[in-house]
């Protein structure tokens, strides 16, 4: 999985590309945690190029949501494809993470 | 710290050491086997997605319950869906329950006592020794339900399993459960394996309801 990170107006945008399973979960979690500690107002995870997420991969998002809650910043995800969105819904993550159709929506533009 | 399947069974033990009536229901049995699978997922021994369960590591330390579940998972050469395993493991549910009760006895949390009913029928009771672990599990559930923060995966899953297995009624009134319904919905099963277990239980309940409807109104 490829991970990129950029800053846009106080918000850090992380883009995941490829699969997020057991082998990639630790790196994804570390990137999310460091982005939350560095950000000024929030983190957006762009899932536009993410085509798979498993139980192990999904835990990185819960860790992110909890860390963002503790710091008092926003934590959003956007551009989920049908399969990834289904995994978020089954796991109830749509109840604790704000999901957006596009990156622009997530950035509030 | 206790594992999920241990905590779930501990919540099903009443003050007299009897296992709650609900523990005999098919819903509870599915949730209980689900707890073992979720525990394996949280320990990174299996990886789950909506299509299949894959074994990552067969090493489950000294947990006899998880060893049995892992043994069954490894008996199939091709990966199966979680729903398949929930059904398939029902054949072992009595042994899984016995092994979990024994582990709680070995840890000094329960004790095993032979009791007699009408001087003839024997049954086994599992009185709680000092109740610390049971109280702690109930307290964590209540703190999460009465708070407003995102729970840990473990607490969220325990709440979901207790809810699905009908165990909340053992320490919350019906009125309280109704009052907390929104929060229960929000914090239950924030984990993919747990979400899939919940879906499988819903399907089972719908199948039972359909079967009852058909038997009530035969064609």
Q: Do B47 and A59 touch (CB under 8 A)?
A: no
> Which residue reads 């024997």 in tokens?
B122
Quote the domain boundaries for residue B130. 4-216
Give chain B's domain count.
Answer: 1
Cα B38 vs. chain centroid, distance in angstroms? 9
Q: What is the ipTM of this complex?
A: 0.91
Q: What are phi and psi of B112, to 5 degrees?
A: -100, 125
- Model confidence at A101, in pLDDT bands (50, 70, 90)? very high
Question: Is-contact A16 A53, C-beta < 8 A?
Answer: no
Q: What are phi and psi of B78, to 5 degrees?
A: -110, 140
Rounded CA separation A50/A60 (Å):
14
CB contacts of B189 in chain A (<8 Å) are 91-92
Residues of chain B with pLDDT > 90, as a percent, come to 65
**Domains of chain A from N-terminus onward:** 2-107 (3.30.750.24)
Q: Do A91 and B192 touch (CB under 8 A)?
A: yes
Question: Mean of the pLDDT values across residues A36-55?
Answer: 96
Instruction: With H, G, I as helix, E, B as strand and everything else as coil, classify residue A45.
Output: strand
DSSP B45: S
- In tens, the pLDDT along B16-65 reads 888 776 667 888 999 999 999 999 999 999 999 999 999 999 999 889 99
Q: Which helix (H) or strand (E) segment is B195 a member of?
A: helix B192-216
Distances (CA, A) of B191 to A37, A38, B38, B117: 24, 26, 9, 42
Q: When comparing pLDDT for A63 and B211, which is higher?
A: A63
Q: Which helix (H) or strand (E) segment is B124 a member of?
A: strand B121-125
- In tens, the pLDDT along A56-80 reads 999 999 999 999 999 999 999 999 9
- In tens, the pLDDT along B166-204 reads 889 888 999 999 999 999 999 999 999 999 999 999 888
- CATH number for the domain including B62? 1.10.3630.10
Q: Do B47 and A56 touch (CB under 8 A)?
A: yes
Count of CB pairs separated by less than 8 Å, A with B: 62
Instruction: Identify the pLDDT of residue B131.
Output: 84
Q: When comparing pLDDT for A104 and B115, which is higher?
A: A104
Instruction: Identify the pLDDT of residue B95.
Output: 95
Rounded CA separation B130/B139 (Å):
15
Distance from the B197 Cα atom to the nearest Cα atom in chain A, whole angstroms: 10
Nearest CA in chain B to A90: B195
């Amino acid at each position: 999985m490829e991970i990129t990170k950029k800053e846009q107006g106080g918000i850090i945008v992380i883009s995941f590309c490829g699969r997020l399973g057991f082998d990639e979960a630790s790196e994804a979690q570390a990137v999310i945690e460091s982005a939350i500690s560095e950000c000024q107002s929030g983190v957006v995870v762009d899932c536009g190029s993410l085509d798979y997420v498993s139980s192990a991969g999904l835990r990185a998002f819960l860790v992110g949501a909890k860390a963002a809650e503790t710091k008092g910043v926003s934590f959003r995800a956007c551009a989920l494809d049908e399969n990834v969105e289904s995994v978020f819904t089954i796991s109830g993550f749509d109840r604790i993470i704000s999901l957006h159709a596009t990156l622009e929506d997530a950035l509030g533009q | 710290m206790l594992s999920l399947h241990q905590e779930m069974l501990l919540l099903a033990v009443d003050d007299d050491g009897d296992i709650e009536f609900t523990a005999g229901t098919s819903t509870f049995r599915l949730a209980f086997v689900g707890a073992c699978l979720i525990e394996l997922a949280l320990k990174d021994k299996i990886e789950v997605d909506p299509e299949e369960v894959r074994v990552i590591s067969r090493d489950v330390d000294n947990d006899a319950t998880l060893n049995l579940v892992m043994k069954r998972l490894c008996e199939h050469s091709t990966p199966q869906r979680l729903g398949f395993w929930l059904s398939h493991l029902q054949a072992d549910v009595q042994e899984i329950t016995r092994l979990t009760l024994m582990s709680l006895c070995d840890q000094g949390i329960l004790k095993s006592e032979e009791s007699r009913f009408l001087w003839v029928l024997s049954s086994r009771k599992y009185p709680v020794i000092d109740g610390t672990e049971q109280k702690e599990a109930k307290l964590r559930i209540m703190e999460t339900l009465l708070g407003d923060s995102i729970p840990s995966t473990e607490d969220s899953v325990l709440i979901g399993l207790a809810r699905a297995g009908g165990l909340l009624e053992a320490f919350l009134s019906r009125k309280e459960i109704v009052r907390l319904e929104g929060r229960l919905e929000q914090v239950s099963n924030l984990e993919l394996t747990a979400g899939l277990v919940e879906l499988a239980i819903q399907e089972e309940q719908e199948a039972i309801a359909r079967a009852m409807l058909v038997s009530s109104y035969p064609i």
